[in-house]
Structures are given as structure tokens and as C-alpha cells.
Chain A
């Protein structure tokens, strides 16, 4: 009887320690969130000011797509800490302009290695209804994957396909065939991209290719 009671106390004490450990971890996450929230807010306001200068507007909008990705990460961090779903802010987003700004930011990075990131757009003036932070997150992950784990130039082909926008992100690397660490790392980026467009009714698919890698991102069009 005493032994059973002793075991009960031991379990309760262990659970208490686990709870304390979890509590302190959540507090650390909350502090990290706070530390990110301030600078992201300040940077976002600084870019808003930069956009007022016509000569720097393009640069500011390219940087803004990177900040969108950081904001999406911050929202996810808060959701993970609180155990709730992240709040989405869907709005009409003209995609070509956004994509060109995102590509311009990545192109500056790619050129350091003699590579490039470009857009081939044939979808016309379309818009999607989505949280722009999530679109920034999805495009950012797909292009970062292509630059980090792929090879050659990266091209973003945007076209319409049966009432949807399809964006093929292509590179000339070894693709997904090796099955090694590179493929696993690519898989994490793909999963983040797929989850990012889920709320907007979108999807991410790996396309079969004999050479290089191609990933298709599809989103329903906002016809309003």
C-alpha cells in the first residue's frame, strides 16, 4: 500500500517536473516571439517609408516579400506555442507583381554564384485570394530549395490551368532522384510550402522530370 502511494507521488512529481520544463520552454518561445515581433514591425514600417521613394520602391517591395516569409514564421511560432491554428489574413493579391518582386530578391542572391532566378509569365493579369505572408512563405521555400539543393538557373513559369494558377519552379540540378540528405532537406521546404498554400485552397506537387527538378504550386484564381 505504502509502495503504491509512494509510486503515485513519484509519478505526480515527475509530471510536475515535466510541466515545469514545458512551462519554461513555452516562456522561452514567448520571449523569442517578442524579440522577433519588434524588429519585424520596425522593418515593415521602414520599408513602407522606403516605398514612398520612387527610386527605391522596387527594392523595398522585393525586401517585403522576404519579410512576409519571416512574418509567416512568426505567426506559426505563436500558433505552436498557444496550440491554436494560425490566424490567416486572406486578401486579393495580384500575383505577377508579387512574384516578380520575390524573384528579384532571390535573383540578387543567385547572381553571386553565377546563377539566376527569373519569371516567365503567361497567366495574364490574375489575382489569388490568399494571405500574402503565406504566399511569400511558399514561394520563398520553393525558390530557396531550388537554389540550395538544385543547380543551374531557376525559372518560375506562371500560367493558367483550368481556372487555377499554376506556378512551376524549375531548376537544372540533380532533382529528387538521389534520395539522400538533399532530398530530405528539400522535403521539409516542400512541406512548409504545401502547408502555406493549404488555407487558400492551393497545393504543391513534385513533377516528374528526366533532368533537373520541377515543383508545381497551384492556387485557385480570384475571379471577383
Chain B
């Protein structure tokens, strides 16, 4: 049986102590946790790290967390690297009805007032991720004979299962999001490996090569190298 995938969370919170203790607890409960202290850092981390869920404080040093909500919810999910359906829990010191309504109307999936019960926040995180999983289940991608199920991480080529490592799968998923677009090497290193600056591209080339070989049983070639630029999944749909 396939082990359950470790979920990634992003905490956008400018209070260092709250951010650190919350990250410690969520890590101890099995999540992979990243933190950001400002709205701009938060947006950048959402793009780069593609977390499964964001815990977002509303009062941030460089602006209001509501602006982060606006940016994510207004993304088209295609040209932008932001997923408009990303589950987001708002943390706020304001408990009034109008404040809650404002949070929900701007796109918060949940609204938790500080100080909060950690157990309750954890239950809300699990609940939102469960609901988001239901949405992803319906999102099986098909490109010719290739099918990719992001939920079960199952890949099939002409009905035959293809076994991929975690990074190979992440690379395939990144390329399949826009199958004909050439994804730059910097972009792939950032999205799949989380590198902020361009590193050694040999790792990427090696993974792309292995992925190409594993998907070689089809008349249509997959994982095409665009020399000096990057990779695209296929030439035609």
C-alpha cells in the first residue's frame, strides 16, 4: 500500500514566536511546514512551494493578509503559478461578525480568532485538506495515452502503470500543468526542488532523462528537451 503523502503547509505570520511555536507543533503532527513573515514573502512562497494549505495572519508587516487572499483567489490558475483554489485559513485578532464576514467574502476557507485552541486549528487543517483532496480526485489529467492522478499519484501510459520516484512525479506534474509550454530550467528547479536561485541543472537533466525513458513506450515522445531553455511535456495534445 502506498504511504500517505506528507502534506505541506505554509504559515504566513509576522509574530516570530507564534510562527515558530505553530510550525513546531504542526511539524510534530506530521506536516512539512514553511514560514513567511510578510505578505510578499507569503505570495512568493505560495508560488514556489505550492503548499497544500496556507495559514494566513491578517496583520502583516508589509500589508494586510486580505491582499494575499485577493491575489490568490483572483489568479487564473494558468498563466499564474498561484492556485486560486488553494485552501487558506485566516488567523485574526478580530472576532467581530463584520470582520469574519469580510474574511470569508474575500475568499478565506476558514477564520480562526487568536488566541485559538491548537487542537481546534489542527482539526480545521485536517478537515480542509480532506475537502481539497475530494476536489483533486476529480482532477485526473489526460494527455494522449498518458493519465496522471494527482490524488493517488498513479501514472498510466496506455493503461500500463508507470512507477515514478517522488521527484520524477513532481517534475511530470509540473510539466503536465501546461503540456505544450516550455518550462524553463530555473522555473522547474524552483517548483520541483524548491531552489530559490538557479543551481546545478544536472539534477534536473538526470530526472528528465529518467522520466523520458519511463514514458518511452508510446508513439508520442514525452519530456522534450528544448536546448538551452528547458523542457516541455509534449508537442501536441
Contact = CB atoms under 8 A, between A and B. Distances in A.
Q: A and B, one complex?
A: yes
Interface of A: 33-34, 37-42, 44-46, 48-49, 52, 71, 74, 78, 82, 84, 87
Contact of B15 (A42, A48, A84, A87): A42
A123 B96 CA distance: 39
A178 B17 CA distance: 47
Given A37-B115, A40-B115, A71-B115, A45 B96 contact: no
Contacts of A52: 28
Interface residues on B, range: 10 to 19
23 contacts: A33-B93, A37-B93, A37-B114, A38-B114, A39-B17, A40-B114, A41-B15, A41-B114, A41-B115, A42-B15, A45-B22, A45-B118, A46-B21, A48-B21, A48-B25, A48-B118, A49-B24, A49-B25, A49-B28, A52-B28, A74-B115, A78-B95, A82-B96
Given A41-B114, A41-B116, A87 B95 contact: yes
Contacts of A33: 93
B18 interface: yes
A213 to B, nearest CB: 33
A45 B93 contact: no
Nearest to A52: B28
B21 A49 contact: yes
- 5 closest pairs, A vs B, by CB? A45-B21, A42-B17, A41-B115, A48-B118, A40-B115
A87 B97 CA distance: 11
Contacts of A78: 95
Given A41-B114, A45-B25, A87-B95, 9 more contacts: A37-B93, A42-B21, A44-B115, A45-B22, A48-B21, A48-B118, A49-B24, A49-B25, A71-B115
A42 B117 CA distance: 11
Contacts of B25: 45, 48-49
Contacts of B118: 44-45, 48
Interface string B204-219: 0000000000000000
B28 A45 contact: no
A84 B95 CA distance: 11
Contacts of A84: 96
Interface in B87-112: 93, 95-96
Nearest to A34: B93
B57 to A, nearest CB: 10
A71 B179 CA distance: 52
Contacts of B21: 42, 45-46, 48-49
A37 B114 CA distance: 6
A146 B116 CA distance: 30
B84 to A, nearest CB: 29
Contacts of B17: 38-39, 42, 46
A16 B96 CA distance: 26
B5 to A, nearest CB: 23
Contacts of A71: 115
Chain A CB within 10 A, most for which of B15, B21, B25 = B21
Given A33-B93, A48-B118, A78-B95, A38 B15 contact: yes
A75 to B, nearest CB: 9
A38 B16 CA distance: 10
